[in-house]
Amino acid sequence: MGDEEKKRKPKNKIKVEDNEGLTLSYNREELDERFPHLTKEMFEKKKSIKIDSVDYEIEKNYKEKSQKSNKLYPNELYNPDVIDFIRRCTKKEDAINLLNYLLRRNEISNNDYNTYRNIILKEGGLERLIAESGGLKRPGYYMRKYYKKATKNQKLNSNDN
């Protein structure tokens, strides 16, 4: 057998060993059939990088920075808080249902839940909370508040080019 024939002839078993000494063996033909690209990558003699772990904190920080870096829109468009949602409610029942929902999803703490709930249940509490927080958010609130600003900035940016 020549050198090329030895390279082409698949080995029957593939042994994979990790750092802790765990060894697994696979049937080469079965792997070729099920995962042809994987076996090709395994046997190519190209440089590779070993990844020991993934740091999700970096990914989280990147997402936060990319959201903050957008100058056209403020953070409230990306991450509305409890008050942003409550400002859309016109009835106490809707606000309480909203608080219950956010509590079930762990998007609000028990302390905040009780605080907002007590404020809303007082006579005129919902109206006062909404008024003190900036007023009721009617349909089209974000379009009225940010659309004109965004289109103005886009026109300015396109004129700069």
Q: How many C-beta atoms lie closer than 10 Å to residue 39's C-beta?
A: 19
pLDDT of res. 133? 87
Burial of 89 (0-12, 13-18, 19+ CB in 10 A): buried
For the whole model, what pTM was predicted? Answer: 0.48
Indicate the SS3 state at residue 16.
strand
**144 secondary structure, DSSP code:** I
Question: What's the pLDDT at 15?
Answer: 72
CA dihedral 54, 57, 84, 121 (to 10 degrees): 100
Please tell me the distance from the alpha carbon of residue 68 to that of residue 90, in angstroms, as a whole number. 31
Mean pLDDT of the chain: 77
Judge contact between 95 and 126, C-beta under 8 A. yes
What mean pLDDT is predicted for residues 132-155? Answer: 74
Confidence class for position 10, pLDDT limits 50, 70, 90:
very low
Q: How confident is the model at residue 47 (pLDDT cuts 50, 70, 90)?
A: low
Domain boundaries, the chain: 3-43, 73-155
Query: Taking residues 73-86, what's their average pLDDT?
Result: 81
Give which of 135, 143, 157 is closest to 70, Cα–Cα: 157
- Portion of the chain with pLDDT greater than 90, in percent: 29
- Please give the pLDDT value at position 73: 66
Nearest to 116 by CA among 83, 76, 138: 83
25-34, 41-50, 77-86, 130-139: range with lowest mean pLDDT = 41-50
What is the average per-residue pLDDT within 85-93? 93
